[in-house]
Chains A and B, each alone.
Chain A
Amino acid sequence: MKDLFSFLPARLDLVAYSLVIGVVIVSFIAGAASIFVWLERKVSGRIQDRLGPTRLGLFGLPQMIADAIKLLTKEDTSPDVADKFLFKLAPYLAFCASFVAFVSLPFGEGIVAYELNVAAFFVLAVLSSEIFGVILAGYASGSKWSLFGGIREAAQVVSYEVPRSMCVLIPVIVAGTLNLNTIGRQQMGFFWEWNLFHDPFTFCAFVIFFIVATASCKRAPFDLAEAESELVAGFHTEYSGLRWSYFFMAEYASMFAVSGAASLLFLGGWHTGFLPFEASASWGWGGHILNVLVFISKCSLLVMVMMWMRWSLPRLRIDQVMMTCLKYFLPISCVLLLGVCVWELFVPSVVELGWRYLSAAACALFMLGLVFRLLTGPLTMPRGQLPGAWAGVETPLMKAK
């Protein structure tokens, strides 16, 4: 990747490279955020039994352009009592942190802006500094709602950082490196080679990591920093227009970044899981494009699961949030860490292989069954009957018959 600009004189190529990479990452984040906003509206619509945006064009897709124009042209206001300098700086701080995480996130074999040897550690470190934007926004707004949001966010993220780091350590112990490129490369091949199926501990660690990562992205059910039913809009109550949009771009970018970290650490990174060789090595540019597409779709799938969680679960109280982290996730992740060490040291390779095939097969069968039920089930239920998990529950209409 670095020798793309080798035709330029020495050192100038690095400058050109970093400029181009910066522009690519910023436009990727902005584009992905606007698509995710559209998707979020669609997903929430479907979950709440409505349609979401439909009026504009195909599936309401041009709605995201309208959204962007609205955000760009909205008046940029700030309250009188605000600390103006900090108030204006805060959104950029939040955005910078999520932006920097993408620098060391590999999108494919060698498709990475800068290959760091400690990339897994670096992504965690950078993402955890995103909260400064939120805390400063909460303080500088000069509003009590915002301050409450900022304080909740600080308490929540500092606590959730601990189990998150421990869950990252578990696949790192299996891989023996902090380099995300190497971790991705090690999981080449069929899907049972993924770290997810390495042992029971990594499987649990993935679930815990995903929940904890959702919490550290301040997504519902952990969105106490916003909590629109209690705090108006929490830390971004006083923001409008473009500055507000930086906050939500940072949110979607960090959701994508943690999903990227999850798919690299547990879900085989850029590998399809159905090819026993490295696609980019055999197919050249086609393989690279396939890798990037696979990686982006894995991340988007995880982001969609986060949306699904947001629109299905009620928000927790702050004491419940802290209790879940400190009393459950922290001890569980400690046990998983010890367990994976013991597994690596003492378990014979036969058992390991057996577990790999068994758990992968069970997961694949479960997914196939799920897809089969989704495809064969009725799209709409007859009048008076409830769908899905509530099938067969008696409704007033059934009673009337």
Chain B
Amino acid sequence: MSLDLILFTAIASATALSALTVVFSRNIVRSALWLLLTLIGVSLLYFLLGAEFVGATQLIVYVGGTMVLVVFGVMLTAQQQFLKIRTRPQEWLVGGILAGSLFVLLVNASLKMGEGKAPPPSEALPGAGQIGVGFLTTYLLPFEIISVHLLVVLIGAAYLARAKRKPKEAPSDG
């Protein structure tokens, strides 16, 4: 077995295991922690594939940004009655069917994707420069749509979170 294969097996199984633990853990803070480890595992897989830029982006966006907010929110809301998650049997059923069909779909798609193609040489993977040029030429419209979307989300979040001023009561003539 080559070193790449050993590393891939180790990282992928650790990622899959922590993803399963996210679902099966009863404690919500532990779930958040395992989700963090899953996301780190995914970024490690990107690094292993040679996609350094995507790996670092995964780290800074999900691990450094999103997960901090998730953990932050979970920590503040994880009081006594919300700390443990109870799942009812019908939720297990619906969730299980959805997850199973999605899994079959993804496995099918990913097996078909590699068919009849030689693996790309590792040197030819695009770096940050090519990705940037691509964003501003070929994929300008999707890029702009996503940017405007994110801007709208940002303004909306700021609007929702702003300090709400109560209407000033008229000063009483004491």
Contacts and interface: CB of A to CB of B under 8 A. Distances in A.
B110 interface: no
Contacts of B64: 125, 128-129, 161
Contact of A117 (B68, B76, B128): B128
Interface string B103-137: 00000000000000000000000011100000000
B41 to A, nearest CB: 13
A136 B59 contact: no
B52 A118 contact: yes
A158 B52 contact: no
Which range holds the interface residue count of chain B? 20 to 34
What does DSSP make chain B's interface, helix, strand, loop or mixed?
helix
A172 to B, nearest CB: 9
Contact of B56 (A11, A118, A154): A118
A117 B67 contact: no
B110 to A, nearest CB: 26
Contacts of A154: 68, 71-72
Contacts of B57: 121, 125
A131 B128 contact: no
Nearest to B6: A11
B60 interface: yes
Contacts of A158: 65, 68-69
A109 to B, nearest CB: 21
Contact of A86 (B2, B29, B56): B29
What does DSSP make chain A's interface, helix, strand, loop or mixed?
helix
B53 A136 contact: no
Nearest to A172: B128
Contacts of A151: 72, 75-76
B103 to A, nearest CB: 29
Nearest to B50: A117
Given A118-B52, A132-B68, A161-B64, A11 B2 contact: yes
Contact of B127 (A85, A118, A138): A118
Interface of A: 11, 14-15, 83, 85-86, 89, 116-118, 121-122, 124-126, 128-129, 131-132, 135-136, 138-139, 147, 150-151, 154-155, 157-158, 161, 165, 177-178
Interface of B: 2-3, 29-30, 33, 36, 40, 52-53, 56-57, 59-60, 63-65, 67-69, 71-72, 75-76, 78, 127-129
Given A11-B3, A117-B53, A118-B128, 12 more contacts: A14-B3, A83-B29, A118-B56, A125-B59, A125-B60, A125-B63, A128-B60, A151-B72, A154-B68, A158-B65, A158-B68, A161-B64
